[in-house]
Every structure is written in structure tokens, then in C-alpha cells.
Chains A and B, each alone.
Chain A
Amino acid sequence: MVDIESEAHQTVPAAEVEEVELYHATSFWTKYVFSQDAKIIAIQYSCVAIGIGLVALVLSSLIRLQLGFPDMFDFITAETYYQFVTMHGMIMVVYLLTALFLGGFGNYLIPLMVGARDMVFPYVNMLSFWIYFLAVIVLVASFFVPGGPTGAGWTLYPPQAILSGTPGGTGLGIILMLLSLALFIVGFTMGGLNYVVTVLQGRTRGMTMMRLPLTIWGIFTATVLALLAFPALLVATVMMLFDRLLGTSFFMPSLVEFGEQLSYGGGSPILFQHLFWFFGHPEVYIVALPAFGIVSDLISTHARKNIFGYRMMVWAIVGIGALSFIVWAHHMYVSGMHPYFGFFFATTTLIIAVPTALKVYNWVLTLWNGNIHLTTPMLFSLGFLVTFLNGGLTGLFLGNVIVDIPLSDTMFVVAHFHMVMGVAPIMVIMGAIYHWYPKMTGRMLDEQMGKIHFWVTFVGSYLIFFPMHYVGLVGVPRRYPELGDSAFIPESVATLNSFISVAAFVVGFAQVLFIYNLISSLRNGQLAGHNPWRATTLEWQTPQTPPGHGNFDELPLVYRWPYDYSVPGAPEDFLAQNDPGQRTAE
């Protein structure tokens, strides 16, 4: 039999260090505002991230208004269109997905799931949130400055990002964007160090690394990636700020803007792209790995079956994380970098498909012979499987350098990355919220509303992004506010665009139902009890729900891996990680 099973019998090691007394807040301000409790910080992070995410959702509707019904809305000009596109992308990737997965779920789940009372550095954790909040405020401020926010695209490629042909390029827009990113990175680094150290140092007795739930493995590995990748972005933002404000030429070659010779010279625009994507590609996995981890736990719990191939899943997460640092230039196949890079980066990129595919197989095989409860979290997990599989497979088009040449910078790319790192992780976020809301509030979300929310969001998103690939195949370029007079684009593309837009509005509107569910269930939701899903992991074994300050009365002792579902001979169909009962199987 495999190691995992025999490990379940091991006894818990003796305590090596004494417990440290927690910081106890006494006033309202220190308890709920400048809180040092990871659970409060998690809720603060989540609310701000979802709030700014709603701004991005509105922006996406404005984008679709223009693409579906061009020339109908006077307030959307080429200029505002690019501003909407830029801010939508940046908010979604950085301020929503990164912040919600790591700052939100990371903060809430890490201490609870590893059996700690709190993060290792609670004060720094508090600072992390408030600096993130400041970064969001600076970002929002850029909407209100003269000239508006930057419209340089979320990739902020120089030289155009800091020149007058781009919205916000010579105004405050780009400066605030870069400042906000720098602040975000500072804030994130504080939180990130906390997450990593807490996982490494704060685990309770018996919680070995190979007994960590995959949620924690995903968040932990993603945080390590983020700590290594964000500095590249920080460097790039600081250098671009210097180029913009001090007239340096890190990324600026000698160039002529609308007939006027500028004083820049000697810099390299491609250097920025390397720095950006050295961050940008790991960023994809910073979003994806927590989603991988969380969805593993959702599938396992709601199918009442152990995750299939746990060790393979762990090594796939670590392997994908490591590989993600040597694939970045697949975003740059048509950038003009040395063409021989194409051989290397296409090879590494397609290699990364192997561990990723294995994860998909293992999720699917977890369903096999399970006892599948089609709860809302399970439905969203299935939605993730479909959209991630779709987006992962189209990644095989774009990762293969020669196939990328005709498809790059077309709507195919837009469809691909929305499917794989937009819809798929958001499916997981939704599923995770339905799954953990009962622990966070003590009440269940309404299942009926949840199911409507799922079906509209899932089917709608598929109808938006699946046909969009074919718009790209036709050759329609991305980042075009209108198709213009193009002989190669048939009339029917405009019709398809209108259809996609209508689907987008429906999906957008369905999120109102979700927000309503979140708010109304706070009061009216069915009481959850401490473990409504009959799950094994430690956060469900707390004495109070929601967990009190310090999480546990006495720190739990861990006897087994997190996936003891439906163990033959066990009295119930799950054995909690802190359940010392001997397994009777074998």
C-alpha cells in the first residue's frame, strides 16, 4: 500500500516549541478596522477585492457595449475604450484575482487549515491589507484625474504607455497606475512572507507537509511564485516611472513622436516586455495554483472521495510553479526578440502542459466511483473543469510558436486567456465562497439562488468565450474599438459580436443575484452548524463557527491526510484530520 495510508497511523510528535501568546484586541478599532486577526483581514481583503472587481465587471460591460453595438454610444470613444480595456484587465488580474486568492482565501484558510491560531506576523499582516487598500485608492483616483486613467493596455508596453498618443500617457494616468502597482507589490510582499512562513513554521503537531490540504499547497506555492515574480514588475514600474518623470531611457530608444524628435535614446522596449512577462507568466499561475488547490478540495469533499493521486497533485503544483519561470517569452513570440528563443520557449511551454493535464485527469478520476453531491460548490467545480480544459487546450495552440504567429494579437488570444484565467478561476472563487461562507458567517448561502447563479454564469460565459475563438480565427485583431472597413471580416462577425455582448450583459446581471445572496444570507441563511459539508480539514473542526479569536481552544493534533472520505469500515463517510480513530481498512 502507498505511504499516504500507512502515514495515517503515525502518532503525533511531541511539541517542540511552546505556544506564543496572541495579540488580543480590546477596542472596536483594533478589533475590526486595524485588525490583526487573519480572519478579519481576509474578509477586508475579500470585500475590497470584490468591490473593485465589480468596477471591472462594469468596465467589461462598457467594452461589450462598444464591441457589440459600435457607433451607438457617443460616450465611448477610442480613447475611453482603451481606458476601459486597460483598467478592466489590470483590475481583474492583479487587484481582484491575486488579492482575493492570496489575501482573501490565503488569510482565511492558511491558519485554520494548518492548525495555527493566526498568521506568524499579525501586525505585518494588517499593514499588508492597508497598503493594498491604499493601492486600490490610488488606482481608483486615476479615473478622476485630468486625462483619465491610462489606456496603454494592461501590459503597459513602452514607449506608447508614456507618450501622448496613448490616453493618460503624458498625464497623471500612467503615473498613478505605476504607483498603485508599486504599492500593491509592497503590500503583497508583507502578506506573502506571512503566508509562506505560516505554512512552513505555524503548522500544528502532526500536520506534515504531505498532510496539507491541496488548497494550502496551491496557495503556498502561488505565494512563493509571487514573492519571486513581483519584484520583476516592481523594477519595471520604477524604471518606467523614471523614464516618464525624470527623462531616463531605460525602455526608450531614440524616437520621433508625430514629427518631433524626443530626447530619449538607447533604451530597450523589449527589456520591459521581458521584465513584465517574467512577472506576468508566473502571475497566471499565481492565480491558477490556488484555484487548482481549492477545486481539488471542493471536488473531493462534495464527491465524498479522496483526491486521486495526492502526491502527484502536490508535485504537479510544485513542478508547474517551477516551470512557470522559464516560459515567460511565449507571450513574446511576435515581439521581435531573437527568433531562436522560440524553440526554447515553445518547448518549455508545451512541457508544462503535461503536469497540468495530469491534474485535470486526477480531478476527473476523483469523480470516478465517487458519491457526487451536486451542490453549488460541486457545480462550480464542474464549471471550472470545462472552462479550464477548454482554455488549457487552446493554450496548446498559442504555446506552440508557429501556431501562435497567425493567432497572436487576435480575439483568439482574448478568448483563450479569459477562459483559462478569467472564467475558470472565477468559477473556483464562486464555488469556494459557497463552500466556506458557512464557516465564515455561520449561515448557508441559498442553494436555489446559487444554482440559478451557477447556470446563468457558466452557460453565459461559455457562450461569450467559445465563439470568440472563431472571431479570432477569422483574423479580427484584439484591442480594436470597431472592426472598420475590412474586406476579410464578413458581416456576420458583427452579428456574432452583438450576440456575445448580450450574453455578457446577462452574465453581468446574474452577479447581482450573487451579491444579493451574499448579503441576505447573512441574516436569513439557514444555520450551518460547524461542519455542514462533513469535511475532513481542520477549519471545519473549530469549536465555534465562525471561529473565534485564536481559532481553536486547544490546538488540534493531526493524525491523517485530509482526504479520508468513505474509508471502508469507518463509522462515517469522512474522518477528520484530527480524528485519532484507527482506520480499520486493509
Chain B
Amino acid sequence: MGVAIALVILVVGSVVFHLISPWWWTPIATNWVFMDDMISLTFWITGFVYVAVLLFVAYCVFKFQYREGRVAAYEPENNKLEGWLTVLTSLGVAALLAPGLVVWFQFVNVPEEATEIEVVGQQWSWSYRLPGLDGKLGTADNRLISVDNTLGINPDDPNGQDDIIIDGDDLHFALGKPVKMLLRSVDVLHDYYVPEFRAKMDMVPGMITYFWIEPTRVGTFDVLCAELCGVGHGFMRGTVLIDSEEDYALWLSEQITFAQMLEQRDVKVANAVKP
């Protein structure tokens, strides 16, 4: 009796906790509402199974607990029942998988109009590069990284000259403009993670990974690293802002290009050389 009651308390307690828990996902800031919907759908289906199976167990423990003289039934198999359970389970699984794969298809196929933004991760900070007026990012390579060229941008690539460099500062997004985040790492694995974006992806040295989002809400958000990258992993933080279109344009006009950065450096070097 006690065990059956404990099981019922556990089931009811879990459901109540789920319903009144103050710990829930952050308000979304991108187009990936489907991901939240999929989590909700999964909660409904799995929650139903959880409650049904455990209440059944509680009932069995209550009803068929040992007592003097009870004899258990002898029933090795029941093909019909097992067949039905297989079919029902398969349907439940399909109901989760099918919409999940449809959304995944959207996730991996980036819309044509998305602009590219490069995120560079290194132990333990984030930098960014936006394509300049030509709309193209110049090539980059870890081998080109030096004190003066911390992102390893190819100085000989004309496409790269007008690229906008954001090193050690916040990144801004324009509301409603889809972006493709190109992810690159200088050293080890990282993972560009903004909880409100829902989308995230590892960055892997030696290759470029990506995800895409369409910002849907103005605000300021934390950036974290979600792939263990050494002792500083927990402190690899940053901030991103989603701006209205005007604010974004204003911010963009204040940024410097790769060419300007090289120029400033040359000026500095020249000044330093002057006696």
C-alpha cells in the first residue's frame, strides 16, 4: 500500500512541479518558435506515457501485492497485446519524429536573403566580422594569425578589405533581417550559444560551421560558450543586441573596416618609429 501511494505521489508531484515550476525557457528572440513548440509537443506525448505507465505500476503494486494464498497468473505471451503496443508506440514516435525532421530541414537550409556574419571563437573570447559594402567576407586562415591580424584575415584578398571587424565588443543584429552565422575557431572547440536564440552550433578549428536565425525581438542578450574549451570555459562570455533598423544603421556606421584597422596600425607603427 505504502509503495503504491509513494508512486502516486511521485507522479502527481512531478506533474504539479512541471506545471507550477518557475524554471522555464527564456522568452525567444528569433524565428525558432518551432523548436519551443516541438519541446512542448514532446512534453505532452512523453508526459502522457510517463503518467500512464507509472499509475499502472502503482495500481499493480496495490492490487497484486503478496498476501497469503495469492497465486500469480501464468501467461507467458500475448501476441495481440504486444502487437498493439508496438503499433501505438511507433505512432507516438512517428508523431515526434515527422514534425521534428520538417523543422530540421528548415534549420539546415538557409534562406537566400540571409546576410553572413562570421563569429570567431578563441580561448576565451568572441570576435566578429561583417561583410562590408561588397556583401562578401574575405578569406581567412588560422595560419595568418599574428599580433596585428588576430582573426587571420587574408590581407591580399580584395573582398576582405571592407570587412567590418568587431574585436572584443558587442555584436548587433537588425530586427527582422535573417543572418547566417558562420562559425570559426582559432584554437579549440567552442559553441556559440545565446539561450534566447535557441539555435546553437559548435565551432571547430579547421572548418566553418553555421546556423541561421531571424531576430524577432529587440533586446540585449548573453552569449555563452556551450562546448567545453578549457579552464576559462565558464567565463567565455559576451553580449549581443538586437536593434531596430535605425539603431542598427547607426551602430554599423561607427565600426571600422579591416583596411582601416591595418591603416591605424601602420600609423601607430610610424608614430612609434618617429623619435
Contacts and interface: CB of A to CB of B under 8 A. Distances in A.
Interface stretch (A54-62, A344-352, A433-441): A344-352
Interface residues of B, number: 102
Contact of B77 (A309, A370, A379, A486): A309
A342 B102 CA distance: 11
A82 B235 CA distance: 13
B142 A488 contact: no
A151 interface: yes
Contact of B143 (A155, A254, A340): A254
A405 B200 contact: yes
B205 A353 contact: no
Interface string B40-77: 00100110011001101100110011100011111111
Contacts of A269: 189, 204-206
B100 A403 contact: yes
Interface residues of A, number: 116
A27 B206 CA distance: 60
B145 A350 contact: no
Contact of B230 (A163, A309, A335, A397): A163
A208 interface: no
B273 to A, nearest CB: 23
Contact of B187 (A255, A336, A479): A255
Contacts of B143: 254, 261
Contact of A358 (B17, B85, B122, B193): B85
Contacts of A563: 76
B5 interface: no
A567 B225 CA distance: 60
Interface stretch (B20-28, B166-174, B252-260): B20-28
B74 A585 contact: yes
Interface in A319-348: 334-336, 339-340, 342-343, 346-347
Interface of B: 3, 7, 10, 14, 17, 21-26, 32, 34-36, 38-39, 42, 45-46, 49-50, 53-54, 56-57, 60-61, 64-66, 70-78, 81-82, 85-86, 89-90, 93, 96-97, 100-101, 103-105, 107-108, 122-123, 141-143, 145, 147, 150, 152, 183, 185-189, 191, 193, 195-196, 198-207, 209, 220-222, 224-235, 237
Interface of A: 2, 4-5, 78-79, 82, 151-153, 155, 157, 159-160, 163, 165-167, 169, 253-259, 261, 267-270, 303-306, 308-312, 334-336, 339-340, 342-343, 346-347, 350-351, 353-354, 357-358, 360-362, 364-365, 367-374, 379, 382, 385-386, 389-390, 393-394, 396-397, 400-403, 405-410, 462, 466-467, 470-471, 473-475, 477, 479-482, 484-488, 490, 492-493, 496, 563, 565-568, 573, 585
> Considering the complex of A and B, which 8 residue pairs feature the smallest CB-CB distances, nearest first?
A253-B206, A165-B230, A475-B195, A336-B209, A339-B108, A369-B73, A393-B46, A160-B188
